[in-house]
C-alpha cells in the first residue's frame, strides 16, 4: 500500500538549472558561539565561504547553524547567489585596485607571470577562487575576516578591461585582423 502513496519529500523542478560542479568552495573562517543556558552551554556555528569558478566569477557567503556542516552548506548557497564577474588580464588583473568594506582595506597590484599569489588569509581565498594566478596584495586596517573578504571583492569589482575603458571614453575598438596561414 505504501507504493501508491506520493512521496512527501521535496521534488526537483524540471525547469530549475542544475548545480554547477565546476565551482570551487573555500572555507575562510568558522566561528563557534556559545550560549549559556540552565543545563550548560549551547554551541552554534557561523561559516564564511568563498566560491568561484576559477574563470573570473567569485562570490562570498555567510551561514549560521547549530552544526558546522549545515553552516558551511548555507554559506555555500549564499556565495553562489552573490557571485560577480571579475575582469582578468591573462593570469593577472588589468590594473591596480583598492577596496574598502567596513574597517577592511585591500590593495591589489598586477604582477608579472610566474610571481604567484602574494596574499594571505581571506584575500588569497578570493583571488584563487576567481582564477587569478599572479597578483600582489596588501591587507590593511581591520583583520576581521568578513570585512577583508568583502573589501577584496570590492576591489575586484572595480577592475575594468582595457577594451571596456576605451569604450567608456568613446573610442572605437577595431577587431584585430587575423592573418590567414596558407
What are 67-111's pLDDT values in tens digits?
999 999 999 999 999 999 998 888 899 999 999 999 999 999 999
- Mean pLDDT (whole number) for 50-57: 92
The C-alpha cell of 153 is what? 571583492
Whether the per-residue pLDDT at 20 is higher than 60: the answer is no
What share of the chain in percent tops pLDDT 70?
Answer: 85
Q: Where in the chain is the domain with CATH 3.30.230.10?
A: 86-160
Range list of H helices, the chain: 68-81, 121-130, 145-157, 162-168
Distance CA 5, CA 7 (A): 6
Distance CA 45, CA 61 (A): 14
Q: Calculate ∠ Cα 14-57-136, nearest 5°.
A: 160
> Given this model, what pLDDT does residue 13 score?
44
- Mean pLDDT (whole number) for 144-154: 94
Global pTM reads 0.79
Fold annotation for 86-160? Ribosomal Protein S5; domain 2 (3.30.230)
CATH class of domain segment(s) 24-81: alpha beta
Q: How far is CA 1 from CA 4, 6, 22, 144, 166, in A?
A: 6, 11, 42, 57, 69
Q: Where in the chain is the domain with CATH 3.30.160.20?
A: 24-81
Amino acid at each position: 500500500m505504501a507504493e501508491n502513496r506520493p512521496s512527501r519529500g521535496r521534488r526537483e523542478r524540471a525547469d530549475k538549472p542544475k548545480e554547477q560542479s565546476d565551482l570551487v568552495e573555500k572555507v575562510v573562517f568558522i566561528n563557534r558561539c556559545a550560549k549559556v543556558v540552565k543545563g550548560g552551554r549551547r554551541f552554534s556555528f557561523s561559516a564564511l565561504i568563498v566560491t568561484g569558478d576559477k574563470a573570473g566569477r567569485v562570490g562570498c557567503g555567510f551561514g549560521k547553524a547549530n552544526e558546522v556542516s549545515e553552516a558551511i552548506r548555507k554559506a555555500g548557497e549564499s556565495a553562489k547567489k552573490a557571485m560577480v564577474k571579475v575582469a582578468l588580464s591573462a593570469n593577472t588583473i588589468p590594473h591596480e585596485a583598492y577596496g574598502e568594506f567596513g574597517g577592511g582595506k585591500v590593495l591589489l597590484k598586477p604582477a608579472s607571470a610566474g610571481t604567484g599569489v602574494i596574499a594571505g588569509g581571506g584575500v588569497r581565498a578570493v583571488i584563487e577562487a576567481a582564477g587569478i594566478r599572479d597578483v600582489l596584495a596588501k591587507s590593511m586596517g581591520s583583520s576581521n575576516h568578513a570585512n577583508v573578504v568583502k573589501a577584496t571583492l570590492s576591489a575586484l569589482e572595480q577592475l575594468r578591461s582595457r577594451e571596456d575603458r576605451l569604450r567608456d571614453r568613446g573610442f572605437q575598438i577595431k577587431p584585430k585582423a587575423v592573418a590567414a596561414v596558407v
